[in-house]
Amino acid sequence: MNFDILMNIGLDIMGGDFAPLEAIIGVSQYLSENNNAAHLTLVGEEAQIKDLFRELNISQNNITIVHAEQVIDMHESPTKALKEKQRSSISIGFHLLASGKTDAFISAGNTGAMLVGALFSIKAIEGVLRPTISSVIPKENGKTGLILDVGLNADCKPEQLNQFAVMGSVYAQQILGIDNPRVALLNVGEEEGKGNILAQSTYPLLKENKHINFIGNIEGRDILLDVADVVVCEGFTGNVILKLAESLYEISERQNLAHEYFDRFNFEIYGGTPVLGVAKPVIIGHGISHARAFKNMITLAQKMIEKDVMSKMKKELES
């Protein structure tokens, strides 16, 4: 195995409902569409991977295969599975990441195991109270925003939301390309002082925070409008919103809406969900990920490394 490459992205080839086939097609698409492709380390059943490469007639240039004889299933208990299946693709993927062999790790496998792995295998960025996961939001006017946390932290403290605001702001700027992103606190009313205890206590912190462009509270009706670029909330509400939004795409499909805007609620087109606040990019894909999602996740990991998003978050958080 040769790890002496500048950028090396690890990918769990066994994770997801349509793995390994769709993962490998995604890899192939990524490699053929990028002149400046990163080296990829594919973790999974070696023989199966090699067979698919032959069948699909894909070159193994720029590819390292690391054999993993186990797979963590979608419904296994994350902590137990990570402990007991140390030869699983997710365990090995995190081991490669933690030891510096890879610079990022991607999987569409067991979400819980990916979260637990991200939290415990690699370090949090110095000063980060809690890492977070975010989701893009398709805006009605065609733009794309960010909402966080969407489920990693069901209970939050104001100081955590304040850090999510900074991390989301850096991500929106570096990855979504939004200049001076407008950060808003999700709330039940517009005025300062509204909301539950958490929102009431978070507002003053955001207002005082010099590292973000805080525009105040927004309400549920503003989420899909172009009112704010980064929407901050605890992971309970954020998770409910994200899953509700995902269901809109399914409904639009079943109802044959065939509408451009509702098509953008197909979250697969955005790839996966990065874990923010950990020292290296970890990207979690949907179980239903197809080739496009895998390709987009690899591209996202590359962009996060190239833009050095983690260092920028660290800098904004510490000063």
The residues that touch a second copy, with contacts defined as CB under 8 A, are 140, 151, 154-155, 186, 188, 195-197, 199, 219-225, 233-237, 239-248, 250-251, 254-255, 257, 259, 261
Least CB distance to a second copy at residue 198 (A):
8
- Looking at the Cβ atoms of 21 and 248, the one nearer to a second copy is 248
Which is closer to a second copy, CB of 94 or CB of 267?
267
The single residue listed with the structure tokens 């993927």 is 93
Give the C-alpha separation, 318 to 93, whole Å.
29
8 Å CB contact between 66 and 43: yes
Please name the amino acid found at residue 131.
P
Shortest gap between Cβ of 68 and a second copy (angstroms)? 27
Q: How far is the CB of 192 from a second copy (least distance, A)?
A: 14
| 98 vs 257 by CB, closer to a second copy | 257
Give the Cα separation of 88 and 13 in Å (integer): 11
Burial of 287 (0-12, 13-18, 19+ CB in 10 A): middle
Work out how close the CB of 199 gets to a second copy at its nearest, in angstroms, rounded to a whole number.
7
Q: Which is nearer to a second copy, 23 or 275 (CB)?
A: 275
Which residue, 175 or 215, has its beta carbon nearer to a second copy?
Answer: 215
CB contact set of 302 (below 8 Å; sequence gap of 6+): 7, 9, 34, 37, 38, 104
Q: At what angle do helices 21-33 and 291-306 cross, to 10 degrees?
A: 50
Alpha-helical regions (H) of 15-77: 21-33, 46-55
Q: Which of 168, 195 has the CB closer to a second copy?
A: 195
Taking the complex as a whole, the smallest distance from the CB of residue 156 to a second copy amounts, in Å, to: 9
Q: What is residue 70's DSSP assignment? A: B
CB of 196: closest distance to a second copy in angstroms?
4
Give least dist CB 242 to a second copy, A: 7
Cis peptide before 17 (omega within 30 of 0): no
Q: Considering beta carbons, is residue 84 or 246 the nearer one to a second copy?
A: 246
Nearest distance, CB of residue 251 and a second copy, angstroms: 5
Q: Where are the beta strands (DSSP E) in 57-170?
A: 63-67, 104-107, 132-138, 144-148
Of the pair 105, 164, the CB lying nearest a second copy is at 164
Looking up tokens 């953008």 gives 264
Could you tell me whether strands 282-284 and 273-276 are parallel, antiparallel, or unpaired per DSSP bridges?
antiparallel
Residue 58 vs 257, nearer CB to a second copy: 257
Token pair for 158: 């104001």
Interstrand relation of 63-67 and 282-284 (parallel, antiparallel or unpaired): unpaired
Other C-beta atoms closer than 10 Å to the C-beta of 39 total: 18
Radius of gyration of the CA atoms of the chain, in A: 19
Smallest gap from residue 260 Cβ to a second copy (A)? 9
Within 13 Å and on the Cβ side, how many CA atoms surround 305?
22
